Amino acid sequence: MHTRIYACAVLFVLVSGGWPQTAFAAPTGTEIEDLKKQMAVMEEQLRFLRRKVEQLETQPSSAAPEAPTENKGIKTEQRLKDLELQVGQQKAASRGLLSPFNPKISVNGIFSAAMFSDKDNLNFGDHDPQVQGFNVQNVELHLQGTVDPYFQVDTNIVTTVKKGDTTIELEEMYGTSLALPANLQLVAGQYFTRFGRQNRQHPHQWDFADQPVILNRLFGKDGLRGPGMQLSWLAPTPFYLEFIANAQQAQGEIATSFLSKPGETIRGYSLLDRPVQKIGDLLYMPRVVTSFEPTEELTVAMGGSTLFGPNASGPNNTTIIYGGDLYVKWKPVDHVKGFPFVAWQTEYLFRDYEAGPDNANGIPADRLKDFGLYSQLVYGFYERWAAGVRIDYVNSSGGGAAVPFLISQAQRDLAGERWRLSPNLTFYPSEFSKFRLQYNLDFAESRRREAVHGVFLQVEFNIGEHAAHTF
């Protein structure tokens, strides 16, 4: 009996073509399906072998069994263990083979109709409604899949359309570790910097149709992101406590407060071509974030972040940005699909930019300082309905007042005092779509504090499998 069991196992392996030697070859669709079927048959064979062993163990044995029979039983059990081990190894290896060909795929599209009281409006974000009429704010293709037992990859490819011009870019592609010890996690690739709460959020996660003014002023029209590495540690505390250390490239339009792009200007100071030459020329960020629940219905999350790195207004100049964020959410225990709820979110940021001197334009060295906050309240007052209001305030000093003749209107709009009020109303037909009506009232020192009005009707559609949003 034991010999027949072992023979079945050996025959199964031989007929199946033997154990695959590699799990990371590039298979065809047919090979993938064959592998899935093979693994299913292997698991069924294991179940059959286990049942046979259990039957043999429950059978009464003779008083003096023959030694060869004992040896056969021992060998069969050992070979059964070997087969189980091989099946386990095959399943682990197959995860890396099958997952890249079966990722989670989703597409998100955000479109809006906008009207402004001034065609030269104050919406500067890359995913803000910017022009009169219809806007394609963001179309995002998201791919997520497990590479192997050790890493997961997320990819976001984004399309925007502005005045008929279509832009396609690789917004993010990064790997996240799945099996580091000691509550550590590594992220590597191109990704949004985890500074504060909203910078790393994608437009479909925003509670408003446009990004806050202070984030636009300090992080640019498309947010702060870039290639780099991030290491985080989740502390073994009874409440959530995470420490994050981050290093990223400091160049390009996606790092406007740092090396940015040569030839551009910031408040009259021309930016140099300052390449990354040493480890100190990278952008660094430490961050700490915590979350706790004072009651069953109340959750509080808060964090603090610091960014420091080089800027291109001088050969040795630096920029430091500080930020604090707070999020408070109330949701009753007897809620229905998440409603009702009240969520309050606020962030404060301060930038100290060491500028110049710009000898070509005769501008002395200065320190450009910007600070501001946004604070928003969202009330989910009925199932699928939410109302919100956000207030923005920013201000700055240095640079602009000394050299007004060198500063364009666009540069003036990115300096000085400004505040904005934004109420909105959102309806969610389902988790895959939403409609949002928003009004903006803008006042800017650069526009002699004359009111600029904006009205947006925004619609969003999602298809495909998408992960839950980060809390």
* CATH class for the domain made up of 104-464: mainly beta
Residue 268: the pLDDT is 84
pLDDT of residue 128: 96
Three-class DSSP category at 376: strand
Q: Which residues pair with 301 in a beta bridge?
A: 291, 327
> Which residues of 331-384 form beta strands (DSSP E)?
341-355, 366-382
Phi-psi domain of 417 (left: phi exceeds 0; alpha: psi -120 through 50; beta: other): beta
Residues 6+ apart with CB under 8 A from 417: 394, 395, 396, 444, 445
Query: How far apart are the C-alpha atoms of 269 and 293, rounded to whole Å?
Result: 47
Q: What sign has the CA pseudo-torsion 326, 331, 336, 339?
A: negative
Residues of the chain predicted below pLDDT 70 = 1-101, 400-406, 466-471
Domain boundaries, the chain: 2-99, 104-464
Separation of alpha carbons 205 and 325, rounded Å? 17
* Residue 119: predicted pLDDT: 86
Nearest to 442 by CA among 399, 413, 470: 413
Distance CA 309, CA 321 (A): 9
| Model pLDDT for residues 318-336, shown as the tens digit of each residue | 999 999 999 999 999 999 9
Helix-, strand-, coil-residue percentages of the chain, each rounded to 5? 25, 45, 30
pLDDT at residue 26 in the model: 45
Residue 324: what residue type?
Answer: G
What's the pLDDT score for residue 407?
A: 72
